[in-house]
Structure 1
Amino acid sequence: MKFFSAFLCCLLPLAFAANVAADTGVSSRTEPADLAQRHQALESLGQALFFDTSLSYNRSQSCASCHDPARGFADPGVNTQAGAVSLGDDGHSLGDRNAPSVTYAAFTPEFHRDSEGRLVGGQFWDGRASSLEDQAKGPPLNPIEMGLPDVATLRARLQENPFYVSRITELFGEAGLASDEAAFDAMASSIAAYERSDAVSPFDSRYDRYLRGEYRMTEQEDLGRTLFFSQQFTNCNQCHQLRQSAIAADETFSNYQYHNIGVPVNTAVRAASGMASDALDGGLLNNPQVNDEHERGKFRTPGLRNVAVTGPYMHNGVFSELETVVRFYNSYNSKSAANKINPETGQPWGTPEVAQNLSLKELESGPALDNKRIAALVAFLKTLTDQRYEPLLK
């Protein structure tokens, strides 16, 4: 995959520059004539940067290495350890969190407190990057990810590429590469533009086609849809519904609030990384803007689009199967001994990594689900898969 990414990165700049010249009849160094053309140029630059392995210290890793567009913009598994967390550019460094999908991340609001004082939004699991631009600046300089030592090195890597020099100068002026910070900002703005593009968030799943009258759900999918949006039969929509209407065309299936749902430690990841199994991920408390102990162990509610093809699940990738996730939620309400067992391990569900601040009000608000309803919910969640990823569905 890395070979393909590097190869594609080489092709994209050349192809794009040629297309601009051919389509517009202007020099590739001419400022785009209108805003739409400029925006297209910015997206294409961002796409090239997204695939560029030269933005990592050893030139072995790009954004796409951990957010593969062919796999729902999530880690394809080739680059993971213990099936859940990504290897760094150095070939041995590991984090403790699963790489989330980039699809529909553009719809996450900036990190803020809402009218009721709740923390909402932000990129990364703990919201520490307020915007897509802030998020794009994180991995290149993270020593356990892409590993560049400083912004000056990143600027030098950009200046190695004549296409980047030409395109950044067109889009950001001579100041775009005049300083390290300006170059850093130009890179981040370009990648964010690509991540906001329709190519990343097309809204063309079976669910979207159903809303447009272009697809008829199966009986099982429709039951799952009814259960999902019901306030009587499940608690799904308390956290995984953004719009008030159940037929909103731009539903992203998250309210972007923060909760501790009692996810257990991923012991396989801890064993692979050498981190102590009893170490605690503070979640939202790791965000430098947060210092309230009541936020410890909380993570941002992820959107559910493409959820069926972007496992493993939870902030630490502890669950491999989507059905396991539904059964984990169900364990809070079911009294059945069978529902107290993790189907992937055959053992009782692990204890919460962080035992305080559990969102029990939300977790315990729904009734227990039988196997038919669990299967229906999983079937509905599969309808949220973008059309190009439908072949990946089991």
Structure 2
Amino acid sequence: MSLRPNTLPPTVSADNPGATKRSLRHVVGWTAAVVAAGCTALAAYAAIYPERMPLAIGTIVEDITGANPQPVHLVLPPQQPLSAVAQLGRQIFFDTSLSASGKQSCASCHSPEHAYGPANNLEVQLGGPHMTDAGYRPPPSLTYLYRQAPFSIGPDQNDMDAAPVSLQQLAASAASVQRAVKTAGVAPAAPAMVPQGGLFWDGRASTLQDQAIGPMLNPVEMANTSVADVAHKLVGAKYLDQFKKLFGDSIANRPDLLVDEAMFAVGRYQLEDPSFHQFTSKYDYWLQGKARLTQAELHGMRLFNDPEKADCAACHLSKPTPDGLPPLFTDTQYEALGVPRNHNLAINKDPKFYDMGVCGPFRDDVKDLTQYCGMFLTPTLRNAATRHVFFHNGVYHDLKHVMDFYNLRNTNPDKIYPKDASGKVEKYDDLPAKYQANIDVADAPFDRKPGDKPAMTDDEIQDIIAFMNTLTDGYKPAGN
């Protein structure tokens, strides 16, 4: 008798409490049969693992009803009116006049209606003076960054009086340490070895304020030629009087300070406005005991967390923190995954060009730390089901292809990578051979070898995707 039945009794719907109520007698009878048939197994299980009995019983309850048998109290961001600075930042965020084309704002690539990601399915966005220049990478979502730490390598320093340690020093001290294997649900030792924190795919911005100025000056995005160029546009903006009220009349005559305060305001808007961190997904409500998951979603969640199967939660942390903060579905660390080259990108038409993430080409402060070449920031999976392109180069357009990559990269690389003229599979074709040792081959499901059975079946992948759909904000639980 299995302690974790995968199906509900025929007349019970996990999504329909009314159906459950109407079928109460059926459920009671079915549950009694389960208990009667499983009592011997439960007794044996209790004799071996007495400390696990509450979990086993809770799992049965979860499987039957779809409810969380151990609801938690989540500590959510406060809901309060925006400060005057954040209100100013909101206007800047939506202002297309701050771009060289006059047609692009922050919201053009970070649409509120699309989880602050792109509103279209382009692999990279168009920008520049005439909105014809292709970008370099897909814009990540701006959601759930309110707890993002600055970029660093290694654990936080505890001695506040000690001299700051440079990234180069930290990387050098980590170079001889074996990389930690990540395990779903267990805090890894990896922070001692790998970069963490920061914004953009390569972590080159440490704060939301730093991040906001990047697109303003990028020649293929908003395409301002200098900070002075941005300041000139701000002086002509309709909200200049708000700047003066907040920072004094002289702000208009101090271009560098004007731009600094403008970008600070954008950062405050992202921190204060609840739409950037809603925590209104079905999974959030399930954690709190306010929603029920379907059998497919429950099964997908277990596979997502299972270190022998998908092992997604090793990097996309799925459990609340010990102090009740809701999970962000990222460990904010960096991984070299070896995704295939996207030959559709204009920047990749040059066969000698490689986007190597942390060690360049769009940041150069750690370019010599070659143990990090090919590493990119692990993004949140919240609202991932609403995205149209995935990974730093936009090579995949749906979650099924993303999951196939994880599942087949090592066992069936011929299904992931192209072949050369001789028919040889060009594995890891988007990273120079001398850096391919950085690619993760230790963590499941990447720990398998060519010819091994893949970690997941297609049906299991579909259930994992069903679970990832529960991470989309805007769910309305019954009774609300």
Same fold (TM over 0.5): yes
Alignment-derived partner of residue 290 in structure 2: 214
Residue pair 2:305, 2:312 contacting (<8 A) in 1 also = yes
Residue pair 2:99, 2:105 contacting (<8 A) in 1 also = yes
| Secondary structure of residue in 1 paired with 2:215 | helix
* Cα distance change of structure 1 residues 262 and 242 upon mapping to structure 2, 3 Å threshold: same
Q: Which digits, 9 at most, give the CA deviation of each residue in 1:354-391, with x for residues without a partner?
A: 1511011125247711122111111111111111799x
Residue pair 2:348, 2:354 contacting (<8 A) in 1 also = no
Alignment-derived partner of residue 324 in structure 1: 401
Aligned pair partner of 1:315 in 389, 392, 412? 392
Deviation at 1:231, TM superposition (A): 2.7
Aligned pair partner of 1:68 in 102, 106, 111? 111
Q: Which digits, 9 at most, give the CA deviation of each residue in 1:49-99, with x for residues without a partner?
A: 11110110121111111111112211112xx7xx20011132222222111
Alignment-derived partner of residue 84 in structure 1: 123
Q: Which digits, 9 at most, give the CA deviation of each residue in 1:205-261, with x for residues without a partner?
A: 111111122210101111111222233333212211176759955211111111110
Asked if residue 374 in structure 1 is aligned to residue 455 in structure 2, the reply is no
* Cα distance change of structure 1 residues 330 and 276 upon mapping to structure 2, 3 Å threshold: same
Q: For structure 2, which runs of at least 5 residues remain unmatched after alignment?
A: 1-79, 156-191, 418-422, 449-453
Alignment-derived partner of residue 114 in structure 1: 154
Residue pairs, 1:256-275, within 5 angstroms:
256-270=332-346, 275=349
* Cα distance change of structure 1 residues 248 and 370 upon mapping to structure 2, 3 Å threshold: farther
Asked if residue 172 in structure 1 is aligned to residue 247 in structure 2, the reply is yes
* Cα distance change of structure 1 residues 267 and 248 upon mapping to structure 2, 3 Å threshold: farther
Residue pairs, 1:140-155, within 5 angstroms:
140-155=216-231
Distance 2:400 2:281 in 1: 20
* Cα distance change of structure 1 residues 371 and 183 upon mapping to structure 2, 3 Å threshold: same
* Cα distance change of structure 1 residues 389 and 258 upon mapping to structure 2, 3 Å threshold: farther
* Cα distance change of structure 1 residues 184 and 222 upon mapping to structure 2, 3 Å threshold: same
Distance 1:245 1:230 in 2: 19
Residue pair 1:211, 1:247 contacting (<8 A) in 2 also = no
Q: For structure 1, which runs of at least 5 residues remain unmatched after alignment?
A: 1-35
2:456 maps to a residue whose letter is L
Distance 1:44 1:95 in 2: 29
Q: Which digits, 9 at most, give the CA deviation of each residue in 1:140-187, with x for residues without a partner?
A: 11111101111122112111124x222112223345434111111111
* Cα distance change of structure 1 residues 69 and 389 upon mapping to structure 2, 3 Å threshold: farther
Distance 2:260 2:370 in 1: 33
Alignment-derived partner of residue 133 in structure 1: 209
2:266 maps to a residue whose letter is I
Asked if residue 300 in structure 1 is aligned to residue 388 in structure 2, the reply is no
Instruction: Report the number of matched residues.
Output: 342
Q: Which moved more, 1:347-356 or 1:124-133?
A: 347-356
Residue pair 1:123, 1:129 contacting (<8 A) in 2 also = yes
Q: Which moved more, 1:361-370 or 1:256-265?
A: 361-370
Alignment-derived partner of residue 276 in structure 1: 350
Distance 2:476 2:375 in 1: 30
* Cα distance change of structure 1 residues 349 and 68 upon mapping to structure 2, 3 Å threshold: farther
Residue pair 1:123, 1:135 contacting (<8 A) in 2 also = yes
Alignment-derived partner of residue 358 in structure 1: 439
* Cα distance change of structure 1 residues 249 and 59 upon mapping to structure 2, 3 Å threshold: same
* Cα distance change of structure 1 residues 245 and 194 upon mapping to structure 2, 3 Å threshold: closer
Asked if residue 185 in structure 1 is aligned to residue 257 in structure 2, the reply is no
Distance 1:169 1:198 in 2: 26
1:218 maps to a residue whose letter is T
Distance 1:249 1:204 in 2: 14
Distance 1:58 1:98 in 2: 20
1:387 maps to a residue whose letter is G
| Secondary structure of residue in 2 paired with 1:361 | coil
| Secondary structure of residue in 1 paired with 2:201 | coil
Identity %: 33
Alignment-derived partner of residue 232 in structure 1: 308
Deviation at 1:340, TM superposition (A): 4.9
Residue pair 1:220, 1:376 contacting (<8 A) in 2 also = yes
Distance 1:88 1:301 in 2: 25
Alignment-derived partner of residue 26 in structure 1: none
Asked if residue 102 in structure 1 is aligned to residue 145 in structure 2, the reply is no
Q: Which digits, 9 at most, give the CA deviation of each residue in 1:83-139, with x for residues without a partner?
A: 200111322222221111111123321111232143111111001111111000111
2:108 maps to a residue whose letter is S
| Secondary structure of residue in 2 paired with 1:267 | coil
| Secondary structure of residue in 1 paired with 2:103 | coil
* Cα distance change of structure 1 residues 151 and 314 upon mapping to structure 2, 3 Å threshold: same
Distance 2:473 2:318 in 1: 19
2:315 maps to a residue whose letter is C
